Amino acid sequence: MEPLKIAIQKSGRLSEKSQELIAECDIKIIQGKRKLVGYSDDYPIEVLFLRDDDIPQYVADGVADIGIVGENEVLEKDKNVEIVKRLGFSKCRLSLAIPQDINYSGTEWFNGKRIATSYPHILQKYLDEQGVKATIEEISGSVEIAPGIGLAEGIFDIVSSGGTLVSNRLKEVEVVIKSEAVIVSNTTLSKEKKALLEGLLYRMHTVQQSNGNKYILLNAPNEKLEEIIEILPGMKSPTVLPLYEKGWSSIHSVVHEKEFWTIHEKLKNLGAEGILVIPIEKMIM
């Protein structure tokens, strides 16, 4: 069977998470000699290690069938690819920023100004929408130093915490897009490849569903069973098993870690004992 070719970033902010995601699907990647291509014995898959900027193009051209890339790159490159899954990591935003001491009035401030960016396409589209006429200075890196060296009055760049802006005495004035890692797909996959993609997405889905969910076991006095079950959500309904000691049962269920501390308090008040919380690797609903 022809493998599904998946492009991921070779090295950078996306590469570790991308490899982790594949590994969590129980697919072990064996890197080839030249380290540009990897394959697996666990799934018909071939991994191409590329620069993130090149991924939309390669997927559009069919060199790769799918790719893991930042939505920002997808929007900037504007190639014919389809976003088939949002992955929830590498979250960032693309924003306009200007020197801190400037009194900002609104997007019209940018009229006649120069804006430095590595994302000219997204920026131009935004400026057109806003009816702003500015000059775009395209540079490939260190965009944040542009105002300081007199290259531009403002910048349009990736922001996550905002720390880089502050250390360059800049302030964020407009958030233009929000981005996260996504899976993009070629739009003309064969039936076989589509099936492989579906299989892979299903595996990812089961991993993601388990994220944050914990398996909980506890001992409960029988007279409090009803009340305890009431506060335990579970997948369908909790499992209840009799304990050897009369009048007691063991309850098994699934809780989200966010709810755990609230639930835990109530459980103890109802007389629950021996509460165990165990990680869940995968969940199939």
Closer of 69 and 165 to Zn ion (Cβ): 69
φ and ψ of 206, to 5 deg: -65, -35
Which one of residues 31, 100, 135, 160 is an interface residue with ligand ATP (CB under 6 A)? 160
Residue 13 contact, options ligand ATP, Zn ion, none, Cβ 5-8 Å cut-off depending on partner type: ligand ATP
For residue 200, count CB atoms less than 10 angstroms from its CB and return exposed for 0-12, middle for 13-18, buried for 19 or more.
buried
What lies within 8 Å, CB to CB, of 176 at 6+ separation is 93, 94, 95, 96, 122, 123, 126, 156
The CB-of-22 to ligand ATP minimum distance in angstroms stands at 17
- Whole-number minimum distance, CB 28 to ligand ATP, in Å? 23
Which does residue 222 touch among Zn ion, ligand ATP, none (CB within 5 to 8 A, set by kind)?
A: none
Residue 144 beta carbon to ligand ATP: minimum distance, rounded to whole angstroms = 12
Map the footprint of ligand ATP across residues 177-216, applying CB under 6 A: 179
Evaluate whether 193 touches 65 at the Cβ level (below 8 Å). Answer: yes
Contact 180, 188 (CB under 8 A): no
> Does 111 interact with ligand ATP (rule: CB under 6 A)?
no
Output phi, psi for 214, to 5 deg: -125, 150
Residues from 71 through 90 that contact ligand ATP (CB under 6 A): 72-73, 90
x/- mask, ligand ATP, residues 34-53, rule CB under 6 A, reads -----------------xxx
Binding residues for ligand ATP (CB under 6 A): 9, 12-14, 51-53, 70, 72-73, 90-92, 158, 160, 179
